[in-house]
Amino acid sequence: MRWLWIVLVLLSGPILAAQEPASLSPEEATRAYLDRLSSEERERSDSYAEGGYWLTLIDFLYGLGVAWVLLSTGISRQVRDWASRLTRIRALSTALYAGVYILATALLSFPLTLYAGYFREHRYGLSNQTLGPWLTERLTGLGVALVILGLLLVLLYAVFRRAPRSWWIGGTAVSLVMMVLTVLVAPVYIAPLFNEYRPLSDSELRESILSLARANGVPADEVYEFDASRQSKRISANVSGLLGTMRISLNDNLLSRCSPEEVRAVMGHELGHYVLNHVYEGVLFFGVLLLLGFAFLRWSFGAAQRRWGGRWGIEGIDDEAGLPLLAALLSVFFFAATPAVNSFIRANEAEADIFGLNAAREPEGFAEVSLKLSEYRKLDPGPIEEWLFFDHPSGRARIRMAMTWKEERQAEK
């Protein structure tokens, strides 16, 4: 989503890269980078990544199990009846049901969340948080979910009631609008709930990044750093938001663990997402995917209701008691669509990689960062494995891209 850095490798990395013979082919140079990982580091990285594949399946099945518990025990039906007795205002009744549903699913899912998000991360040395701060952030995230997801569910069920034939089209529109609004508000209002953002203190690096932004048509006048080290060792940066909420941010791990050349390579990549309009491409892609998902829901919900609706007390798509079924069916669709989603994101990431190499012109810095990311991403997967599970190009592919770029630029001189 691997993060344990060996200090000696970090210190020696740029030197080793600089000593590579100029005669090495891109394939040989790539192999030289890959060989810098010890067998223990490679095994640890592979183990974390491959365990993540299984965790994705377990999370999917666990979610189906939670939905089954809520439906088969009658809890969902009872909560709907309770909310209806409290108020005759249907929107308020939906909001009450949604709040209980969100809390119940969070509580039932907590054992898996605790293992995956806390114990497993500590087992691999990837987390810096003790249990108290980790729990506090989970509660904060739950509060955000109550507001955003609660509002989405109120709007969805209003559409379901008012458009009994075309609810799946209206549901797509409402979901897409909420997704765009979340992207708009997240950098300014949500992200600061978890980290402290402040203007980048390194004035020389700040001007270098802003110069890179201006040279590529990115309208930014400030660069922010945030304290991700309080949570993990992960290095990251982003150019996030839409319209007036756009901001350039990089975390303190990137600043403390990477050279200026590596930081420029990362920021060139992130600026590429903005320049190449990947946010808008994402909105279009996920809009189509949501439409297909709601079309699947239209067919599958009706079939499931006819078979089990009487037993579970579900009267129709506009009945809040059917929300666990609705969520389960959508999860089936999106789980099946995972390779397509990963391929779309991976293609955008590869485009941003190429843009970043051309913009920052730091192939060694980009290769060094790609090697560092092996702490939590498998460095050299098989082709089918990469297609199924990777939403970014593999480290091998990224290093090879950087070394090919380097060779071609040298050939031009």
pLDDT tens for the chain, residues 1 to 413: 333 333 333 333 333 333 444 568 999 999 999 999 999 999 999 999 999 999 999 999 999 999 999 999 999 999 999 999 999 999 999 999 999 999 999 999 999 999 999 999 999 999 999 999 999 999 999 999 999 999 999 999 999 999 989 999 999 999 999 999 988 888 888 999 999 999 999 999 999 999 999 999 988 888 999 999 999 999 999 887 666 667 899 999 999 999 999 999 999 999 999 999 999 999 999 999 999 999 999 999 999 999 999 999 999 999 999 999 999 999 999 999 999 999 999 999 999 999 999 999 999 999 999 999 999 999 999 999 999 999 999 999 999 999 999 999 877 76
CA distances (Å), origin 159, targets 72, 156, 173, 193: 26, 5, 10, 31
- Per-residue pLDDT, 244: 62
User: 73: which DSSP letter?
Assistant: T
Query: Long-range contacts made by residues 145-150, C-beta under 8 angstroms, separation at least 24?
Result: 145/102, 145/106, 146/99, 146/102, 146/103, 148/178, 148/182, 149/98, 149/102, 150/95, 150/98, 150/99, 150/102
Beta partners for residue 199, in sequence order = 224
pLDDT for position 80: 97
Distances (CA, A) of 301 to 169, 176, 324: 15, 20, 11
Structure confidence at residue 30 (pLDDT): 95
Residue 186's pLDDT is what?
86
pLDDT of residue 242: 63
H or E element at residue 245: none
Work out whether strand 247-251 and strand 223-226 pair parallel, antiparallel, or are unpaired: parallel
The pLDDT, as a whole number, for residue 413 is 62
pLDDT in the model for residue 245? 63
390/216 Cα distance (integer angstroms): 28
Paired tokens of 182: 């979340």
pLDDT value, residue 219? 86
Pairing of strands 247-251, 237-240: antiparallel
Q: Give the pair of three-digit tokens for residue 312.
A: 């579970």
Q: Distance between CA atoms of 78 and 52, rounded to whole angstroms?
A: 36
